[in-house]
Amino acid sequence: MKKLLVIKIGGNIIDDDSKLSLFLSEFSSINERKILVHGGGKLATRIAEQLGIEQQLIDGRRITDAETLKIVTMVYAGYINKNIVAILQQHGCNAIGITGADGNAITAHKRIKGDIDYGFAGDIDAVNTSFIDHLLGRGTDIIIAPITHDKNGQLLNTNADTIAQEIATAMSRFYEVSLVYGFEKAGVLMDAEKDESVIHEIDPLLFTKLKADNVIFAGMIPKLDNAFSAIERGVKKVIIGKAENISELIDGKKGTTIRK
């Protein structure tokens, strides 16, 4: 079966020009089919503050009102996405930048959770695997901004981690998929303050023990829950570590690998 890498990077890379440059240089040299899902970093928040548009987060998720949606679309799908594509072209890596609306790649619906109104935030309904496979088959790397649509003309701001996971699981029907989460730490750590305490491999039994022993800090548990969910849904392995070490993460020399 053909191999596919789905890699997600966040603000710790997006907001640091030197780290982003290093990562994209490494990314461009990887000789496999690959998809990069990127977050938005702090730029959208800074622009919103400059324009006097108040930003609100609940449980780490942005409340996306109509004005904020305009900003995140311009920043995520515009500047950040096309800047990444341009740098990859500089490295001889032919890439195309898209959102979930392009090619009907990712459809979603407005998030509804109790009494909380998340505005124009989206939860994913479907991934257009045939469209994505078509682009990959043409030798094109895909760079995806975290904007989806609802098929009724409405754009939606969607969590980049979730996009990466949903794409990875959907494409696992056609490929042997490795899902890589770029993270500010070196991997899952035995001691959150010590990068050298990386746990190199975790399976379900070890995960249960680490949680029972309170070894894994609270913020990492949802990431690992999502990782094991992806594996149960067909993803071959999930890797967590510093994105600027992407080649060594893929080779298993660094980071934490989660397996079934």
Tens-digit pLDDT profile for residues 171-201: 999 999 999 999 888 999 888 778 888 999 9
Give the model's confidence band at 22: pLDDT under 50 very low, under 70 low, under 90 confident, else very high: very high
CA dist 55 and 41 (Å) reads 14
From CA 15, how far away is CA 160, in angstroms rounded?
A: 15
Query: How do strand 141-144 and strand 61-62 relate by DSSP bridges?
Result: unpaired
What does each C-alpha distance from 167 to 110, 163, 164, 190, 231 come to in angstroms? 19, 6, 5, 30, 13
User: What pLDDT is attached to residue 215?
Assistant: 83
Q: How many CB atoms lie within 10 A of CB 106?
A: 30
* pLDDT higher than threshold 70 for residue 204: yes
Please give the pLDDT value at position 171: 98
Q: What are phi and psi of 186, to 5 degrees?
A: -75, -10
What is the rounded CA–CA span in Å between residue 210 and residue 218?
11
Residue with more model confidence, 56 or 149 = 149
| pLDDT over 80 at 7, yes or no | yes
Average pLDDT, the chain: 92
In one letter, which amino acid is 141?
D
Question: Could you give the count of Cα atoms lying within 13 Å of 128 in the half-sphere of its Cβ?
Answer: 19
Residue 75 structure tokens: 């920043």
Stretch among 16-30, 121-135, 208-222 having the lowest mean pLDDT: 208-222
Asked if the model's pLDDT at residue 154 lies above 90, the reply is yes
- Gap between the Cα atoms of 217 and 190, Å rounded: 9
Place of tokens 């195309």: 96
Contact 160, 218 (CB under 8 A): no
Instruction: State which of 84-93, 222-231, 249-258 shows the largest mean pLDDT.
Output: 84-93
Is residue 229 helix, strand or coil?
A: helix
Is the CA virtual torsion 206, 207, 209, 214 positive or negative?
A: positive
**Pairing label, strands 3-9, 176-182:** parallel
What is the pLDDT at residue 196?
Answer: 86
User: Looking at the predicted structure, is the pLDDT value of residue 219 above 90?
Assistant: no
In eight-state DSSP terms, residue 64 is B
**What does residue 171 show for φ and ψ, rounded to 5 degrees?**
-80, -10
**Residue holding tokens 């090619």?**
103
Give me the mean pLDDT over the 16-26 stretch: 94
Distance of alpha carbon 211 from alpha carbon 132, whole angstroms: 37
* pLDDT grade for 55, boundaries at 50, 70 and 90: confident
Q: What proportion of the chain, given as a percentage, has pLDDT over 70?
A: 98
**What are the tens digits of pLDDT across the range 69-116?**
999 999 999 999 999 999 999 999 999 999 999 999 999 999 988 788
What's the pLDDT at 60?
64
Decide if pLDDT at 164 tops 80: yes
- Of 179, 141, 105, 133, residue with least CA distance to 24: 141
CATH class as words, domain 3-258: alpha beta
Higher pLDDT, 61 or 174: 174
Does residue 62 register a pLDDT over 90? no
List Cβ neighbours of 139 (8 Å cut-off, separation of 6 or more): 94
